[in-house]
Amino acid sequence: MSDNSAHPGQPPRARSWPRLALVLAAAGSLVVGTMIAFTPNASAGTTLGASAAEKGRYFGTAVAANKLSDSTYVGILNREFNSVTAENEMKWDATEPSQNQFNYANADRIVNSARANGQQVRGHALAWHSQQPGWAQNMSGTALRNAMLNHVTQVATYYRGKISAWDVVNEAFADGGGGGRRDSNLQRTGNDWIEAAFRAARTADPGAKLCYNDYNTDGQNAKSNAVYAMVQDFKARGVPIDCVGFQSHFNAQSPVPNDYQANLQRFANLGVDVQITELDIEGSGTTQANNFGRVVQACLAITRCTGITVWGIRDTDSWRASGTPLLFDGSGNKKAAYTSTLNALNSGGNPITTPPTPPTTTPPPPTTTPPPGGAGCSASVSLNSWTGGFVATIRVTAGSSGTNGWTVTTTLPAGATVTNTWNATASGNSGNVQFRNVSYNGRLTAGQTTEFGFQGTGSATGMTPSCTAS
């Protein structure tokens, strides 16, 4: 961040990360005690951006407009990176400080500098619960929804053709074991707000990749499973989403997870690009260098991992500067982490000392239960299951009379629990559970279909839903 105190996706008071150097992790982690040996190929790039470009990828950094007068900063920026992301200058409070009065001056400085130097630009971020202007913080309901959609439309339209990818929605899922949505003023406008933002962004800037971006989703956990379920649902229903961003902020208390590559791969298997969007790794020396190398190597191993962005240039530019988490020291000198990163890029996917955990978590192809009969409506379920959890997608089909509303009832097997629901309202979370339509998908004409979904723990094999029309 520009003030070196706040997380790029969190206000200063919302999340505090320990500022400790990385240490060797416990047995089973990805950290090893000696430098990983990479063998650069014959056409090895001499800078991060050039090497990444040889692999068809980008290597970028977050940029603060107020540092563009710093010659050391700009020298490294233009030499090493082929992609930039504005740290704060494209966020809601910066671009629309007063309602319907837009200010792009600082964002334009970054965009114009990048384009003059042949660098692509990632847009960050159109809709987010944090760093909202005061006028938006005081809104709710339909007024806030309309203001958010207007903001997405205006900013994406202004930069149409200049942005390679937009972080359309940032950090919409909660931390903790539940895997649910974050409670925010935007979430309280309706569970479909993320979908609405993506649809507005596609209309405004059809050429840009549209991404969902979040933190603490780097390995498989309840939060990443919830994001996975949303992306899977979006892809199934044709909601425009092209990529998922993984912030990848690591330290000794939150190290590179063993299943990092496998987790990225399972998202790529959904048919979206994956991008490492805000990478920084606290520490120094060999340990830090090894971890940067491993992250790069994981990306190179995945065809749809299209690029990496580090969140800042020099350690002193970082939002957690005391943890020295970047590739250049405060004077602009290359660190061991820089060398490891460049060597990893140049290795072109060569094996590393400790292979990542095999991707065992990719869900199997869905199994479909035929819909039962019924004059009013019918329901069918498709399951994607993994050990300990599942995502159920239920399709509701209106009968010959159509529906003004519908209720789907299903009995979950013993031990199964609903943890997250979208496009419906659930009553109960285990045993006999009812799902009712929400405001926008209850009225169906004869033969028309709609879908809703839910994520759960346990197993849902054998679940048979029934539908009642109203």
Three state DSSP letters for the chain: CCCCCCCCCCCCCCCCCCCCCCCCCCCCCCCCCCCCCCCCCCCCCCCHHHHHHHCCCEEEEEECHHHCCCHHHHHHHHHHCCEEEECCCCCHHHHCCECCECCCHHHHHHHHHHHHCCCEEEEEEEEECCCCCHHHHCCCHHHHHHHHHHHHHHHHHHCCCCCCEEEEEECCECCCCCCCECCCCCHHHCCCHHHHHHHHHHHHCCCCEEEEEECCCCCCCHHHHHHHHHHHHHHHHCCCCCEEEECCEECCCCCCCCCHHHHHHHHHCCCCEEEEEEEEECCCHHHHHHHHHHHHHHHHCCCCEEEEEECCCEHHHCCCHHHCCCCECCCCCECHHHHHHHHHHHHCCCCCCCCCCCCCCCCCCCEEECCCCCCCEEEEEEEEEECCEEEEEEEEEECCCCECCEEEEEECCCCCEEEEEECCEEECCCCEEEEECCCCCCCECCCCEEEEEEEEECCCCCCCCEEEEC
Look at the pTM and tell me if it is higher than 0.85.
no
Check if 278 is active-site: yes
pLDDT 10s digits, 391-447: 687 889 999 889 999 999 999 999 898 877 767 889 998 899 999 998 767 888 898
Instruction: Report pLDDT digits (tens) over 51-110.
Output: 999 999 999 999 999 999 999 999 999 999 999 999 999 999 999 999 999 999 999 999
pLDDT over threshold 50, residue 194:
yes
> Of 80, 89, 278, 282, which residue is the catalytic one?
278
> Residues 253-294: pLDDT tens digits?
999 999 999 999 999 999 999 999 999 999 999 999 999 999
Report the share of the chain in percent with pLDDT over 90: 70
326 or 453, which is more confident: 326
pLDDT at 384: 67
Confidence band (pLDDT; 50, 70, 90) for 134?
A: very high
**Residue 438: its pLDDT value, please?**
80
Please confirm, yes or no, whether 89 is among the known catalytic residues: no
pLDDT given for residue 386 in this prediction = 60
Reported as a single tens digit per residue, the pLDDT across 212-243 is 999 999 999 999 999 999 999 999 999 999 99
Candidate list 80, 89, 96, 171, residue with the active-site label: 171
Confidence (pLDDT) at 440: 65
